[in-house]
Amino acid sequence: MNGKTSILKKYLPVALGGLLMTASVGLMSYNNATDSPKKSIAESDLKVDTVATGLTMPWASALLPNGDLLVTERGGKLRLVSKGQLDATPISGIPEVWYKGQGGLLDIALHPDYKTNGWIYISYSSPKKDGEEGDDGGANTALMRAKLKGKELTDIQQLFKAIPNVKGNVHFGGRIVFDKKGYVFLSLGERGQKENSQNLGKDQGKVVRLFEDGKIPTDNPFVKTAGARPEIWTYGHRNPQGMVIHPTTGVIWEHEHGPQGGDELNIVEKGKNYGWPLITYGIDYDNSIISKDTAKAGMEQPVIFWRPSIAPCGMTFVTSDKFKDWKGDLIVGSLKFMQLHHLTIKGNKVTKREVIFDKIGRVRDVRQGWDGNIYVVLENSGKVVRISPKS
């Protein structure tokens, strides 16, 4: 491959995305996004160190205060990485996981006061149990918490499970985030049933808001709505796989997979409807039209959308002084193109975009650790890598 071909290949997905987005009515006018690279931090100024290998379909990681790393494997194992070595024995205590298709052991997050209370939160696809609503043989996304004692989870509590159970094996969502007030939010995919994203009587295609113990806040937006699930915070989502709190405003930013095209970056606010499937910038996988509309009254527009899809997964706001010129910006992972995207944020706008670490691998999770470095989970290679400045 010659040099010109290599450069074209590296930037083709972004260049095509820029051309298509320019042609999409209204996009550039409302988000002011451009493909101009931000040159304050060059990729050559950064280093990528492998901190864990030998993982099988890793999904998410959490950096413990002592520097150890907890990593979920979608097959149902929770792994411990200590001093750069993957412990051969998985941590015990994980409940039964429905490991089919996109289901399995998913996200992991430490309670904001982890040093005091020791709570670890984990999302997973939970198989239908007796008495639960939905399809026999089906499953849906659940949230649990537990404490780590040596190599065992203790004090295990299932805090929430999405209703109803569904046999389909796609679109579980599963991202966990705590806001500055201590509420815990969980993203839920629509499980391949588009219409249920708009149905307030079902948890599919929603973001839910809970107290840290799983109880439902009385000021949730649909608590007093007849027939609505009281845990719902927002609705009209497809498959949200990135969720993070803005470091200044405290508002949730979320991204979700579109169908063929139409991945979205959204600002998630109380009671709002994000439109799926009534509005979308994508089409179905058989090229059929899902909706002719990209906007409707009472439905939110994304901050940006990606077309073609990048399959966004994982996201973090940069707050570390180690990346001073990126502070306040977003780093987003791409499963499809195996790269990271740096999005320059100004207010509620994305003003610039650039691809960094092209072909790093299928990015499943991106997060900034307490040490200020950026940790990236790579699904296909079974690795966790750490990005930090060279000097």
pLDDT digits (tens, 9 = 90+) for 40-52: 689 999 999 999 9
pLDDT confidence bin for 161, thresholds 50/70/90: very high
Please indicate whether residue 171 is annotated as part of the active site. Answer: yes
Q: How far apart are CA 253 and CA 246, in angstroms?
A: 7
Catalytic residue among 111, 171, 237, 341: 171
Query: E strands, 83-127, where?
Result: 85-86, 105-110, 119-127
pLDDT digits (tens, 9 = 90+) for 51-96: 999 999 999 999 999 999 999 999 999 999 999 999 999 999 999 9
Computed over every residue of the chain, the mean pLDDT equals 92
What pLDDT does 30 receive?
Answer: 33
- Percentage of the residues of the chain whose pLDDT score is greater than 90: 89
What pLDDT does 319 receive?
Answer: 98
The reported pTM is 0.92
Q: How far apart are CA 85 and CA 52, in angstroms?
A: 7
Domains, the chain: 3-389 (2.120.10.30)
DSSP 103: -
Residue 24: pLDDT over 60: no
Phi then psi for residue 254, to 5 deg, are -140, 145
Interval 311-315 mean pLDDT = 98
pLDDT digits (tens, 9 = 90+) for 121-150: 999 999 999 999 999 999 999 999 999 999
Residue 12: pLDDT over 80: no
